C-alpha cells in the first residue's frame, strides 16, 4: 500500500510538472532556434569557410544578423512571431537557398482581420493598388501608385514591414513575392 501511495504521488507530481512545462516561452525558444540555425550554418555552409568577396556577405550576416535577431527575440510571443523571426534571419543572408519555414500551419490567414481593405502589387518598379474590398470608403482607385502610408514613404514602410519577413526586397522576385 505504501508503494502504491508513493507511486501515485510520483505520478501526480510528474503530471503537474509536465503541465507546467508545457507552457511555451516563445522568446526563449526563438533564441535557442536562432543559435541552432547559426551553428548549423557556421558548421555546414561552404560560404562560412570560403575566403574572398563572394562569401563576405554571408560571413558578415552570420554573426551580425544573429545579434540583430537575438535583439528582436524579446518581442516573440507566439509560434507565428517565432517563425517570422527565424525567416527574417534566414532571409538576411540574401541567398534563396537558405530558408526557415515552420512545420505547422500558423495563424497567418487570421493576421489580416484588421486590414484596411486595400491590397497592393509590385508592378513596373512601384507599388500599385491591385484590390479594393467592396464598401471601403476613401480607398484609392485600382491602379493608383502608392507613394506613402501615414506620411511614411512606401519604400521605407516596405523595408520595415516586408523585407526579410516576407521576401528579399533587394531582388525583383522578392518584391513580387511580397506584393503579388
Per-residue pLDDT 10s for the chain (180 aa) are: 454 434 444 433 433 333 333 347 999 999 999 999 999 999 999 999 999 998 999 999 999 999 999 999 999 998 888 998 999 999 999 998 999 988 877 766 555 555 778 889 999 999 999 999 888 888 899 999 999 988 999 999 999 888 888 888 999 988 988 888
In the three-class reduction of DSSP (H, G, I as helix; E, B as strand; rest coil), residue 170 is classed as: coil
Spans of all domains in the chain? 24-113, 115-178
Give this prediction's pTM: 0.67
**Cα–Cα distance, 57 to 170 (Å, whole number):** 13
Answer left, alpha or beta for residue 92, where phi above 0 means left and psi between -120 and 50 means alpha: alpha
Contact, 155 vs 161, CB < 8 A? Answer: no
* Partners of residue 120 on adjacent β-strands: 129
Amino acid at each position: 500500500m505504501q508503494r502504491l501511495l508513493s507511486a501515485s504521488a510520483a505520478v501526480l507530481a510528474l503530471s503537474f510538472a509536465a503541465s507546467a512545462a508545457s507552457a511555451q516561452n516563445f522568446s526563449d525558444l526563438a533564441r535557442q532556434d536562432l543559435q541552432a540555425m547559426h551553428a548549423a550554418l557556421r558548421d555546414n555552409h561552404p560560404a562560412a569557410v570560403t575566403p574572398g568577396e563572394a562569401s563576405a556577405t554571408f560571413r558578415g550576416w552570420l554573426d551580425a544578423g544573429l545579434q540583430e535577431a537575438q535583439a528582436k527575440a524579446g518581442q516573440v510571443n507566439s509560434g507565428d512571431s517565432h517563425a517570422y523571426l527565424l525567416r527574417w534571419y534566414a532571409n538576411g543572408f540574401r541567398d534563396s537557398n537558405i530558408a526557415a519555414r515552420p512545420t505547422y500551419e500558423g495563424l497567418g490567414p487570421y493576421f489580416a482581420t484588421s486590414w484596411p481593405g486595400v491590397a497592393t502589387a509590385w508592378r513596373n518598379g512601384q507599388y500599385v493598388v491591385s484590390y479594393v474590398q467592396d464598401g471601403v470608403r476613401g480607398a484609392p482607385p485600382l491602379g493608383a501608385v502608392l507613394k506613402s502610408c501615414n506620411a511614411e514613404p512606401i519604400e521605407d514602410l516596405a523595408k520595415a514591414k516586408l523585407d526579410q519577413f516576407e521576401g528579399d526586397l533587394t531582388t525583383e522576385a522578392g518584391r513580387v513575392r511580397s506584393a503579388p
